[in-house]
Structure 1
Amino acid sequence: MTLRLIAALVAFALPAHAEMQIQKVTSPGGITAWLVEDHGIPFTALEIEFRGGTSLDAPGKRGATNLMTALIEEGADDLDSRAFAEARDGLAAEFSFNASSDSIGVSARFLTENRDQAMALLRAALVNPRFDQDAVDRVRGQVLSGLRADEKDPETIAPNIFDRLAFGDHPYASVGDGTIESVTALTRDDIVVAHKGALARDRIYVSASGDITAAELSALLDALLGDLPETGAPQTVDAPWLLKPGITVEDFPTPQSVVYFGHQGITRDDPDFFAAFILNEVLGGGRFSARLMTEVREKRGLTYGVGTYLAPMDHAELVVGQFSASNDKVAEAIDVIRAEWARIASEGITEAELANTKTYLTGSYPLRFDGNGPIANILVGMQMEDLPIDYAVTRNDKVNAVTMADVKRVAARLYLPDQLHFVVVGQPTGVTTTP
């Protein structure tokens, strides 16, 4: 049976969400993982996160961690890039690697019959990647191509400007992929340094879901990760907040502007987070019933879509949003968003909005646990956010516990219309940069 077929079938073999049992597994070497066992299909999903991500880039080496992550699968031990890919495909295994501002993620999907060989191959990639110069040059070219495309994409330019203005010289202020100049200048030695700094045992979070026992996972953890360095590069410090309220316009020749906006937000471990989560869903969540969609799109036809979200990162927290509008409609859309920001801050939300949003959030949550891959991904995210192991069971209770008094109080705390900053990339009519 192929891995693709296994992945397609696995959702139908999982236990109901209410019956899902999460085990905490600690290896003899001291590596901890969370596990959901399901032996209905001989397939396992494994997720590994290394805290730090592209924020670990050394000064002047922006993009090194991202480039390193993209190169992990490009050959290891005595296997060059092609031989590694052939070995992986021959095992019907899937590996993926990604770098974000705060973490490096490793995903593995493998059949039970090939578990040992698949994990030996993944270990080689994590512990002893080759970083052959031809692979470095080839993948560097792919990154540079993406960066050149981003320079012409208003939807990328707008948040990049916002971050640059907000975070000064902190890593969050610049794109983790790096710049054309910084990536061009990176050497193989820079990639090796980034690897040693980012992939270490002092920042590992692991989860697994599928056809594997706690004892088997315990042995796997040490064999797979035990030879990584004990410690890595120091984590970065908290980011400053330097963005003043107002508007920044970046001239870009297009009939439609992209607007990115927001201000400081709320941390994930704040006691008020669930109230804030509900408020965001009412104001700018992804559904058409959200207030901004109603006021900006449905009533006035100023945009095809507008949304907001909470962004609690490791070293900063934001509440931000984005929309696109024709240049002659940007000014009115900004005014409406400011007005809705002020309205929710002063009035909160209605009883009906609170009840409907709770119903949606609690009803949709179990649907996320629809396969071994999603389950493993959720479990590792829970660990990264320092949530308790029973969070999947208690989460809906926390949503339902939010009261009208809570949302009104938190709305006044969270939504600060006088602090909003709008970055507009385009040629908007009647909108200019404020001093």
Structure 2
Amino acid sequence: VRVLTSLCTPFPPAFISPGAMKTLLNIYHKAIKPMEDAYRYNELRQHEVTDGEITSKPMVLFLGPWSVGKSSMINYLLGLHGTSQELYTGAEPTTSEYTVIMHGEKFRSVEGIVMAADSSRSFSPLEKFGQGFLERLVGVEMPHKLLERVTFVDTPGIIENRKQQERGYPYNEVCQWFIDRADLIFLVFDPTKLDVGGELEMLFRQMKGRESQIRLILNKADSLSNQDLMRVYGALFWSMAPLINVTEPPRVYVSSFWPQDYAVDTSRELFMREEISLLEDLNQVIENQLENKIAFIRQHGIRVRIHALLVDRYLQTYYDKLGWFSDPYEVFRDIVDDPDKYYIFKSILAKTNVSKFDLPDKEAYQDFFGVNPVSGFKQLSSHCSWTGGCLLEKIERAVSHELPALLSSISRNTEGPGCGEKPKNRWRRE
């Protein structure tokens, strides 16, 4: 039986400056949250940021087809094989629930409905996906050094011949919720089945913009000869290339992540180095926890600001076009149905420091205004006061100055001798 490679200490002490975290929460509540509430951003993106999410540990999400070794990999990383706490594994599709593995003082299972009802946890927003999903959500708490620093999420396997409706809950929407919050996404594959179908293609569309967090895992690598493994490695890239449209391909880890010894006549040293490199990757996610949280809140703030500017532009256009004898409903419906005719989105790009890649879909605002009457909003110029200032100025100051200043103020630990390949940190300037 093989144990997890420990050629160096892979996981650093968990320390986050309470002062920096308090500052981050203060910026969010004073500069970003008021704009969210005023323009009902949560109803557009369905992404409600809670204090529990901001202060939560990094989340590592395991995705992939059924029976590729996701649960076995978690068991291996936590050393659970052969214990009463190990996740159940097998050749058939075994994981039908979303299993959240987190730290606790003692081993216990937590029902999904209890997790969603606890507002102190970062999983309370999952309640919106309904009872059918909560019955398929389970939490597992256990005392473990690694879980003091990170949370693992095991997901149901992708089954390409199964319709989404058969799952009994909105599978793609739930996946999107976890993808949006994951600090690292392990997409696990079995070298003997690299089928790419509709469900996997949809997942990649949902991960657009999160490519830097995706890691491909070619698991069970010792089940093939070296020559066959090279061919499968090439086939994996060939299959993934149309789905990941980025110049720099994601990192692929090739090994067998379970406690059984590697098969004879396979690339044992390569597999061990890959394992060490994966631990370094996981290590860096833990080290960069606060940096990633600040960057996430800044990105969220940028999207909230863009949404507010767009709603303001819709309102301004509506008031400009509304005549004495016009039907208010017809006027606004025309603007929402064809915003390009009124240069709604182009005007935002022209006048403000906004990237076209951050703009929401135009169709999203048809649904948004369908449930949020225009009469329920005020223009940005009305959200100002002598004592509190303007909401737009606050969020722009937070995005442009306060959050970048907080990011640069975090002391960077000097890097000691590494254990192999150092993965890039997308938030840190090299």
The TM-score range, normalised by the shorter chain, is under 0.3
TM-score, structure 2 as length reference = 0.26
